[in-house]
Amino acid sequence: MIKIEKRLDKIKIYVIKKKVFDEEIVSFLNELSKIIVKSKESRKNNELMAFGFWCRNTNLQKLKQRYSQKFLKNKMGIGLLFHIPPSNVISNFAYSLLFGLLSGNTNVVRIPKRSLEFANVLISFINKKINRKSNISKMINFINYKDEKTNTDLSKISDGRLIWGSDETIKKFKNLKTKKNCKNIYFSDKYSMSILNSSEIIKLKDSSLTVLCKNFYNDSYLMDQNACSSPHIIFWKGKKIPLGQKIFWNKVYKIAKKNYKLDMFAAVDKYANTLRISSNKKIKINNYENILIRIQLNKLSENLDKFRGRWGLFYEYIINNNLNLPYSKKYQTLSYYGFNKNELKNLKDRSKNFSFNRVVPVGKSTEMNLFWDGNNLVSILSK
């Protein structure tokens, strides 16, 4: 039985290495996917459902296709991986584990407190589908602890570590002793944005507009805008921008009003931030009952990545010509709507400091990928 241990000495670590995209692992994940997708738990939990879909054979095969035959034939896991997920993206630990398994490694995953409930549901499914005699069960270990010693001990014995932010956590783990050739992957704090084409938005039927705005809601509100990939600033391009803005935001507001649980602390914080920002310059603010707050910027300040919204506060900027961003190495995701491939390519070619790791359609911001923050995870975690 796999369970979440409280102490490292309770875990017997057998380091098993398998080939990348090992067939037994892929088929186990596919079985896991089936049981999750059909479960009543996943119907209530979007994140669990999304995880279930991610493990489907079709998705895994698609991911596999990005690697060469030679790579798939020759590469194996590097050994023992230590996963340090962020405390707050509840399902992140599960994807981190997937990356470890697909690259053929044995995993010790630290479960953050807020992920415990999700982890227990997931583990109950894993236990139903895993063959206890199979090596795979030895490749999956979960642990939940508070002491720093466990961090130190695990760092010492690991062949690779996946450290998912924040910058402070990364700093802490960089100081711990590791094996000489330990592969460290650090995911530092990021800043993400969206770009919308009003010419397309004003043409949308109500049902399509609802889909777009729900997708935008999922990218932003669902994680209180705190995920690395959640947009903070929205760029507008195209014709009749004020009209496009009006149509788009009215719909987002309606969806958020119905679905978003704004708590009082968030409400006060959001309002205080809005006032603070507006205390030293003239700006245009649209406040929709405190559920949605839009702040229009007239120019992009040098420290753009400081302009962070939370709990439904968005900055906006109208692009007249090209997207000229102030330099920052923090840009991660640009989510878009209403642009075709050519237009995106043009946008990229003509823009200053266009340095996003991901350019994805609105709605796909939080979708996890084997290439994250510019890291080819399977390749780094195998040899």
Partner 1 sequence: MKNFNPESNFFNLKKSSKQKKFLKNVIKLNNHHFRNCKEYKRMIVNNYPNFNNIDKLKDMPMIPVKLFKLINLKSIKEKDIYKIIYSSGTSSDGLSKIYLDKNNAKIQIQVLNNLFSEMITSNRYPMLIIDKNIKNNFGNFNAQKAAITGFSIFGKKKFFLLKDDNKINYDELRNFKNYVGKDKYFIFGFTDKVYEYLIKKLDSKYLNKNAIIIHGGGWKKLEKFKISNEKFKELIFKKFKISRIHNYYGMIEQTGSIFFECKNGFFHTSVFSEIFIRDQYFNDLKFNKKGLIQLISLVPVSYPGHNILTEDIGEIFGEDTCKCGLKGKYFKVYGRLQKSEIRGCGNIND
d(CA 160, CA 103): 11
Q: Rule CB under 8 A: is residue 11 a binding residue for partner 1?
A: no
| 219 Cβ contact list (under 8 Å, min separation 6) | 194, 229, 230, 231, 335, 362, 363, 364, 365, 366
| 185 Cβ contact list (under 8 Å, min separation 6) | 160, 161, 162, 163, 375, 377, 380, 381
Q: Which is nearer to partner 1, 177 or 261 (CB)?
A: 261
| 325 Cβ contact list (under 8 Å, min separation 6) | 300, 304, 331, 351, 352, 353, 354
Minimum distance from residue 151 beta carbon to partner 1 (Å): 10
d(CA 289, CA 292): 7
Minimum distance from residue 73 beta carbon to partner 1 (Å): 35
Q: Which is nearer to partner 1, 67 or 173 (CB)?
A: 173
Scanning residues 93 to 112, which ones bind partner 1 (CB under 8 A)?
Answer: 112
Q: For residue 110, give both structure tokens.
A: 């630290």
Candidates 24, 147, 148, 263: give the one binding partner 1 (CB under 8 A): 263
Minimum distance from residue 224 beta carbon to partner 1 (Å): 5
Question: Left, alpha or beta for 338 (phi > 0: left; psi -120 to 50: alpha)?
Answer: left
Residue owning tokens 């705190």: 226
Q: Which is nearer to partner 1, 71 or 145 (CB)?
A: 145
| 193 Cβ contact list (under 8 Å, min separation 6) | 231, 232, 233, 234, 235, 331, 333, 334, 335
d(CA 25, CA 98): 10
d(CA 160, CA 303): 34
Q: Rule CB under 8 A: is residue 369 a binding residue for partner 1?
A: no
Binding window for partner 1 (CB under 8 A); candidates: 30-38, 74-82, 198-206, 286-294: 286-294
Name beta bridge partners: 4: 142
Name beta bridge partners: 215: none
Minimum distance from residue 236 beta carbon to partner 1 (Å): 20
Q: Rule CB under 8 A: is residue 114 a binding residue for partner 1?
A: yes
Minimum distance from residue 130 beta carbon to partner 1 (Å): 27
Residue owning tokens 């995993």: 107
Size of residue set near partner 1 by CB under 8 A = 52
Q: Which is nearer to partner 1, 26 or 223 (CB)?
A: 223
Candidates 264, 299, 303, 349: give the one binding partner 1 (CB under 8 A): 264
Candidates 87, 96, 106, 357: give the one binding partner 1 (CB under 8 A): 87
Minimum distance from residue 55 beta carbon to partner 1 (Å): 22
Binding window for partner 1 (CB under 8 A); candidates: 17-25, 125-133, 265-273, 336-344: 265-273
Q: Rule CB under 8 A: is residue 283 a binding residue for partner 1?
A: yes
Tell me which residues touch partner 1 (CB under 8 A): 84-90, 92, 112-114, 164-169, 187, 189-190, 223-228, 230, 262-269, 271-272, 274-276, 278-285, 287, 289-291
